[in-house]
Chain A
Amino acid sequence: DVQLVESGGGLVQPGGSLRLSCAASGFTFSTYDMHWVRQVTGRGLEWVSAIGSGGDTYYEDSVQGRFTISRDNAKNSLYLQMNSLRAGDTAMYYCARAGYCSSSTCYVLPFDTWGQGTMVIVSS
């Protein structure tokens, strides 16, 4: 089965750092674009960051310069390094699978698989 499992969330003080991980299984991880999406409790979904199968990265404006997305295809894992954390970063963080590239073509795809989420709380 296709599966994503996040870990690494927790309580951190403002200004601190945290590294989230997302372990993928059941599919060829290296060929897919991967994303992080967050959700403040009781609020809507907010896209945070993406990394393409080729390693290109994208960030939402409010996290640009503070968060770094990366992937280790040998370990089938996605990461989000979060630095200079603020109270406004408190949320559930989900990883999600999206676009796919074969050897010759890339396909635009929606977020068809999501992890269960990992909670990040930024508080003193």
Chain B
Amino acid sequence: DIQMTQSPSTLSASVGDRVTMTCRASQSIPNSWLAWYQQKPGKAPKLLIYKASTLESGVPSRFSGSGSGTVFTLTISSLQPDDFATYYCQLYDAYWTFGQGTKVEIK
């Protein structure tokens, strides 16, 4: 099975900061079937990005994804108050493995 490892586990940042988090796969992910989700406490996850870099409809353009193979990144260009949440990466073909999450907290 392919394992997904996210870093850092927690990220402290301020409103307006540019933040980047990383997701590493134990094997190369075919066709970049890699998604990013945002989850707030008590809520279901929300899809942000799929196929590594495609923004889901309605998601603000400050979110972007990049990467291929085994290393992928999620970047928030200017952190907004609504962005403080936990972010998960996920492989979604044949296996549906999630990373352990990166919590973005207020600095």
Contact residues of A with B, CB < 8 Å? 35, 37, 44-47, 50, 94, 98, 108-112, 114-117
Cα A104 to Cα B31 in complex, Å, equals: 20
Contact indicator A116/B44 (Cβ below 8 Å): yes
Chain B interface, number of residues (Cβ within 8 angstroms): 21
Contact residues of B with A, CB < 8 Å? 31, 33, 35, 37, 39, 44-47, 50, 56, 88, 90, 92-93, 96-101
Q: Which residues of chain B come closer than 8 Å to A115, judged between CB atoms?
A: 44
Cβ-defined partner of B92 (8 Å) among A44, A94, A110, A114: A110
Cβ-defined partner of B50 (8 Å) among A35, A109, A114: A109
> Chain A nearest CB: distance from B26 CB in Å?
16
Most interface-central of A37, A98, A110, A116 (chain B CB within 10 A): A110
Cα A98 to Cα B100 in complex, Å, equals: 20
Q: Which residues of chain B come closer than 8 Å to A37, judged between CB atoms?
A: 98
